[in-house]
Amino acid sequence: MQDKATRRQFLKFAGMSGAAFGVGNFAFLRGLPPVSAQEARVAPALVKLDAGIEPLVRLIEETPQADLLEQVAQRIHQGTTYQEVVAALFLAGIRNVAPRPSVGFKFHAVMVVNAAHLESLASPDSDRWLPIFWALDQFKNSQAMEQHDSGWRMTPVNESMVPPAHKAREAFIEAMDSWDEKKADAAVSGLVRSAGANEIYELFYRYGARDFRSIGHKAIFVAHSWRMLQFIGWQHAEPVLRSLAFALLNHDLKNTTPALSELTTTHATKLRR
């Protein structure tokens, strides 16, 4: 799987009917357990971000691209669920691919996970793994690109800057309004630890729509992150929303404040209300 392939090519060569499962690099797909519609829609509360998910994330991160799909297939045969694979794939992307310099390009490997999941939902039970395996391969392409270009990986939040619960919302708004990346990174961690999903995303929806850089990908990432968290579980929200805040604060201006740029809309409603 080292050669780059489009999703359509991947599905074509894998054989949606299963006819090509014994051919070439796709032999490992033979005999994978089917994914039922119920499993593909399993409740997010069943997945816990504990020591159980970390080994699978690390497997995706550390296994060479040529070996990854076979390794994941082995884990599936051993009982790893569809939801666990999707969660680990998304979190590996969040931790290893920066949404910079644009919320696109190599970051599409993160943005397409929800689309791959939706394609799985629309597929027959026997074929639901195929879009996810394609997305795993795409992640390895982007991971390699990131390591070559910048070596970026998400680091732990600066706990000394995380605001207390009663100040987290105000701190997040102030950091986002002033385009302060360090303060926003700490503030969003405090917000996730103290507020509910709906309250948090009401803020992110507005910040995602205030800025027209990245040709709309900022707003798209807001929507995709919400949809993915509904499936993989809110317990994974903190790293996902740190990545999202980092993405929404991206700009290329040097001599002006982004808030004064024509690329940024004016807030019609005060977020503090």
Kindly report the pTM of this predicted structure.
0.81
pLDDT mean values, one per 10 residues, the chain (273 residues): 55 50 54 68 42 86 95 95 96 93 82 95 91 96 94 92 98 95 96 97 94 83 96 93 95 67 50 49
Residue 211 is predicted with a pLDDT of 81
Residue 21 is predicted with a pLDDT of 43
Residue 122 is predicted with a pLDDT of 93
Residue 14 is predicted with a pLDDT of 54
**Please, are residues 87 and 159 in contact by the beta-carbon 8 Å criterion?**
no
Residue 2 is predicted with a pLDDT of 46
- The residues of the chain that CATH labels 1.20.272 are 159-260
Residue 19 is predicted with a pLDDT of 44
- When the candidates are 1.20.1410, 1.10.10, 1.20.272, 3.30.710, the CATH number that belongs to 159-260 is 1.20.272
Output the 3-class SS for the chain: CCCCCCHHHHHHHHCCCCCCCCCHHHHHHCCCCCCCHHHHCCCHHHCCCCCCCHHHHHHHHHCCHHHHHHHHHHHHHCCCCHHHHHHHHHHHHHHHCCCCCCCCHHHHHHHHHHHHHHHHHCCCHHHCHHHHHHHHHHHHHHHHHHHHHCCCCCCCCCHHHCCCHHHHHHHHHHHHHCCCHHHHHHHHHHHHCCCCHHHHHHHHHHHHHCECHHHHHHHHHHHHHHHHHHHHCHHHHHHHHHHHHHHHCCCCCCCCCHHHCCCECCCCCCCCC
